[in-house]
Structure 1
Amino acid sequence: MAEQQKKNIFLVKFEPSSDFTTYSSLGIADEEVIHEFNLARIIECELTDERVDDLKRFSNVLYVERDIPVYAYQQEIPYGVSRVQTQQVHQEGYTGGGVKLGIVDTGIDASHEDLNVTDGFSVFQSGEDSEPYHDGSGHGTHVAGTAAALDNGTGVVGVAPDASLYAIKVLDSSGSGSSAGVVRGIEWAIQNEMDVINMSLGSSEPSRAIQDAVDTAYDEYDILVVAAAGNEGNADGTGNTVGYPAQHDSVLSVAATDQNDLRAPFSSTGPGVDISAPGASILSTVPGNGYDRLNGTSMAAPHVAGAGAVLRAAFPDAPASEIKERMISTAKDIGDRSEWYGSGLLQLHDAVNQ
């Protein structure tokens, strides 16, 4: 007895002039037909591969294709966003709405469907880098997504999805800039009344001009200034390797942890570290409506900047100093090495409900 051939579901499309309901003339039995799509002149049916080959020879059959699976484009919650208690505060309605969040970086791809970029500024005068929404590096776009990617059912979600992003471009497409450019960017942030700025940049060499700028932003204009601690750490976690401006007292300095809440081996160490956030293999937005995983304290800092935006929206009358203290005082103890972790791992829900 011959083995019965396996049947699969196929869609058979008929050419416009044919009577597609007379499929029996093609050797398709009524019991093999699952559905007739009258407008599209297609039938859904169960067929063997042999019958499919036969059907393709008929002139009134335009195509036969296998029924393929289709999936929802689900939004992913990156592990870093989960580790800092973001989902809990979103469920309680704290999402950073009405807060101005400046990303002092390489620009932001404002055409990315997962980002809400309100305005921008570039310190560069010519070429593509003069456009704040051109991010030839991708660094600023990635930082922006962690801080504030939209809760729109696709891609990823950021810590403060309802915050307004501002692209403050002080680094070119190679990721390089100058102290003068950084000061100009901070000046623009002050003039345009940012509530929070993220600086995933730095130098091993201090700049008095940058220190003056961040001190002015924080002390005189009540801007919460967040900066990456730096990626100059060693495997042993020894030495004072925190960069500038993260070393300055007016700046909330962020070290990087991994999926296990352990210090990322590249994360800079020293007394200048204030707090920690995930910075290893962080999934976020990149130019061209894309997503990618990157490592660095640059990826850790926007978790804290986004948290700052959520807190500023939740407590609109609280000064930046209080917002900063809320995050530091409620951080989770993940080890007694303050030079590694500062006060510990950011816990946004605890900061909101302190």
Structure 2
Amino acid sequence: MYKKPSRLFILCMAIALVLSTFSMGALAGGTQQARELPVAELFGDIDVSSSAPTTVIVELQEESIVEAKHKGKRQTSANLKKERSKVISDLQGKVSEAKINREYDYVFSGFSVELPANEIPKLLTVPGVKAVYPNVEYTVDTISAEEISAEAFSPAMMDSAPFIGSDLAWEAGFTGEGVTVAIIDTGTDYTHPDLKHAFGDYKGWDFVDNNDAPQETPPGDPRGGSTNHGTHVAGTVAANGQIKGVAPDATLLAYRVLGPGGSGTTENVVAGIERAVQDGADIMNLSLGNTLNNPDWATSIALDWAMAEGVVAVTSNGNSGPNNWTVGSPGTSREAISVGATRLPYNVYTSEIFTSEGVEYPSAKVMGFPSEEELLALNGEEFEFVYVGLGYPQDFEGKDLEGKIALISRGEFAFVDKATNAKNAGAVGAIIFNNVAGEHPDVPGMAVPTIKTTLADGQKLLAELEAGNNTVSFNIQFAYEVGETVADFSSRGPVTLTWMIKPDVSAPGVNITSTIPTHNPANPHGYGAFQGTSMAAPHVAGAAALLLQANPSWDVDEVKAALMNTAEDMINPATGESYPHNTQGAGSIRVNDAINTKTLVTPGSHSFGTFLKDDDTEVKRQSFSIKNLSDKRQRYSFDVDFAGNPEGIKVMTSNNINVQAGRIQQVNFNVQVDTSKLEPGYYEGTIKVSDGTQTIEVPTILFVGEPDYPRITGAYFGAEGDGTYFVGSYLPGGAEVLEYDFYQFNSSSGTIGAFLGTIGTFSDVPAPIHEFNWNGEINGQQLPNGQYVLAVYVEKGGVTEYRAYLVTKN
């Protein structure tokens, strides 16, 4: 038994209460209580007491065509169909309601099936079934998007491609010609004037509507909102018109796996990966993801085998930064190139605001802006300012914001959405004040020029309004320039279980201007400025196209290594030091340097994993290969540094080796860790490989003791159709003890109230999802509808976490 946290601890937690309501419709009823099953392995938890229809992905023991091929075996589509049919027939004999949706055989062997959740135990006992995975929801990895009007658009706005060196590659004759890139996304507007050159008669495939016209979702679709994400991604790769992408002469194929509203599920994503490989794509881009930090999913398996088949797979790393362990699938893939987002060099401005004599706002700083011109336009003018609460659309109703400044409180939803709502209401700027003590982060690319203040200065502004002083003026001045930086929203690694460094590389992902559909044939030129790791990934996919044109004999590992080996190390301006490996990966890509590198070090990063022995010495071995691309013999030297040179970590390798021109040589090295001399934690180092003129830095990490990954990364709650409720949590490493508690919520103070009761206690719960069904009762009494705090306690590996979430019972 564990000791329940004290009442004092619970009250202290109110400060850090996560005000989030999770709605995981794609997962509801799709996970179950932990149980040991006799045949197949079950990933996630599925509530077997529920009869709700649930879709899962089934992996067969019979190997896929590509997996068998790379294991030296012969496999055919016909044989797989026969084996798959046996399993399906057996399953439908046991579960008459089982409905087969999609079947896979090329890079993944299996099928997706919808069946009642309480019938899944029967599925797990069917001979030939290897594993069952939840059909998780994937969404586009974008955090803000703004359409750019034709009047405001300028080709110079697309400056991220030249920044990574694409223009130098173009001058050398490398434009992506002859290389095919698959865009696995929301579809693509292949009629866009800047994109139609990249498509042939065959455009790709629509897995949402099951046809050969993978267009974006148009406005008015009754199933959900229109989309433009895939077109923006495609333009970053290969636009060639008013916008010029990284590889303007590449060929594109579009696979629509995310439908109305920009969301979709595993079954379509796997199908898109498989079809892209079969259609002959050289590269695939997946600017999509979820928040599950786990490498062992059907999507990751499909990507790993796609890479084995010679298709360079590029994925976004996610937008859940800036904390470690926030990378989500498929960015967690062992083989695919995962991409973090950077902000291009930018100018920093100071800001002063004035409302009346004697009132000062020392915390006022520029938070974000759409353009320097719009920011500086606030100078020399006096504006009315209007308080709009949290800045929801309804908070603007009945208030005149035209040409005014919106005063907004932080809280409950994204800063970028608050600024967008202000712009939609006619505001020319915004001031967002904090809702707790301290300073909130900068957010580049806000829809209107936005100033941030502390809570104390925000309260002064509110007092000014109360006193009738409702005007504000600004003094905004240039301060200094900042170099390329990692975007705060960009997800960080490592990956749980494999302990790999992610992202692999970074690329521009803030305020990226590219193509979007207009859904208007009379005015087809649509452009927008988006930000997110979704925007960073296609820079890398386009760069890979340039590399393959320049070096057509390179395999996927060499493309990945070239991008990682030549990436630019980025400096955090807040510390003056390099960003950690799990923040920037190997660094920001420089495509022309990658094309011209004379050495390839593969793989481009290493993890030694965990050292769990107490007060003992342990040795682990790793290796990498060096390929000499030059026309003469090269002598390479090695140096390995761990940050801070900690006593207790010793790396042993060769001092020097000679590699003949055009040859590859393996280099072995050992790391010896004496845990008696080291504090538990995460240690990162750099392997430096030098030929005397070029030095390649290979990131490496190791963990002493149980890694500090978050034991819980989120929770969700919602109503079932039968009057009960689904309750669940995300557990990257599973849990030895798991408990769900309910508390009252004091809405007036935003704090946790009285303890109401425990609604579920579980032990030995597997990773990464747990879900159970709750009848809505506590101590035998039905809990009234309303807002409550769901607190989740997790214990794993001697580490405990207790987190609180605001939920609504209705």
Compute the TM-score of the two structures, normalised by the length of structure 1.
0.74
Shift of residue 77, structure 1, vs aligned partner:
6.0
Q: Indicate whether 1:299 and 2:538 are aligned.
A: no
Match of 1:333 in 2: 569
The CA distance in 1 between the partners of 2:503 and 2:555, in whole Å, is 21
String of CA shifts for 1:254-313, please: whole Å, max 9, x gaps.
000112211111111123211010000000000022111001000000000000011111
Question: Which residue, out of 203, 209, 216, partners 2:298?
Answer: 209
| Letter in structure 2 aligned against 1:243 | G
8 Å CA contact 2:285–2:538 kept in 1: the answer is yes
In structure 1, the partner of 2:330 is: 245
Match of 1:143? 233
Q: Find out whether 1:186 has 2:273 as its counterpart.
A: yes
Select 1:265's aligned residue among 469, 488, 508.
488
Other structure's SS at 1:304 match: helix
Q: Once the two structures are superposed, what CA deviation does each residue of 1:121-148 show, in whole Å capped at 9, x if it has no partner?
A: 011236xx98402343100000000111
User: Are residue 124 (structure 1) and residue 208 (structure 2) matched?
Assistant: yes
Point out 4+ residue stretches in structure 1 off by more than 3 angstroms.
Answer: 73-77
1:98 matched to which residue of 2?
A: 178
Letter aligned with residue 186 of structure 2: T
Query: What is the CA distance between 1:208 and its match in structure 2?
Result: 2.1
Q: Distance in 1 between matches of 2:323 and 2:263?
A: 27
Deviation of 1:231 after TM superposition, in Å, equals 0.3
562, 580, 585: which one aligns with 1:342: 585
Q: Are 1:133 and 2:363 matched, yes or no?
A: no
One-letter identity of the residue aligned with 1:208: W
The share of aligned pairs that are identical, in percent, is 39
Tell me if the contact between 2:300 and 2:334 (Cα under 8 Å) persists in the aligned partners.
no
1:223-265 CA-partner distances (Å, limit 9, x unpaired): 00000000001xxx32210111111121101000112211111
How much has 1:75 moved relative to structure 2?
A: 3.9
- Say whether the 8 Å CA contact 1:259–1:278 is kept in structure 2: yes
Instruction: Confirm or deny that 1:108 pairs with 2:197.
Output: no
- Inter-partner Cα distance in structure 2 for 1:98 and 1:343: 28
Q: Secondary structure at the match of 1:246?
A: coil
Identify unmatched segments of 5+ residues in structure 2.
Answer: 1-150, 218-225, 346-483, 494-500, 519-524, 572-577, 598-810
The separation in 2 between residues aligned to 1:305 and 1:173, in whole angstroms, is 25
8 Å CA contact retained: 1:304, 1:346: yes
Instruction: Report the AA paired with residue 349 of structure 1.
Output: N
- Compute the RMSD of aligned alpha carbons: 1.8
Q: Equivalent residues in 2 for 1:66-85 (5 A)?
A: 75-76=155-156, 78-85=158-165
CA distance in structure 2 between the aligned counterparts of 1:275 and 1:323, rounded to whole angstroms: 12
Partner SS state of residue 289, structure 2: coil
3-state DSSP class of the match of 1:257?
Answer: strand
2:260 & 2:510 partners in 1: Cα distance? Answer: 23
Q: Match of 2:255, as an amino acid?
A: I
Q: Kindly report which structure 2 residues correspond to 1:304-323, keeping only aligned pairs within 5 A, or say none.
A: 304-323=540-559
Compared CA separation, residues 241 and 74, structure 1 to 2 (3 A): closer
SS in 1 for 2:264: coil
Query: Using the alignment, how far apart are the partners of 2:544 and 2:312 within structure 1?
Result: 7
Extract unaligned runs of 5+ from structure 1.
1-70
> What is the TM-score when the length of structure 2 is the normalising length?
0.33
AA in 2 matched with 1:186: I
Q: Deviations over 1:312-340 (max 9, x none)?
A: 11111111110110000000111331111
Structure 1 window deviating more from structure 2 (96-105 vs 208-217): it is 208-217
CA distance in 2, matches of 1:123, 1:265: 33
Does structure 1 retain, via aligned residues, the 8 Å contact 2:300–2:332? no
| Structure 1 SS opposite 2:272 | helix
Q: Distance in 2 between matches of 1:165 and 1:131?
A: 13
The equivalent residue for 1:199 is: 286
Deviation string, structure 1 residues 175-208 (Cα, Å, up to 9, x no partner): 1111011000001011101100000001123462
- Contact residue 124 and residue 130 of structure 1 kept, 8 A: no
Partner of 2:341: 256
Contact 1:146-1:303 within 8 A present in 2 as well: yes
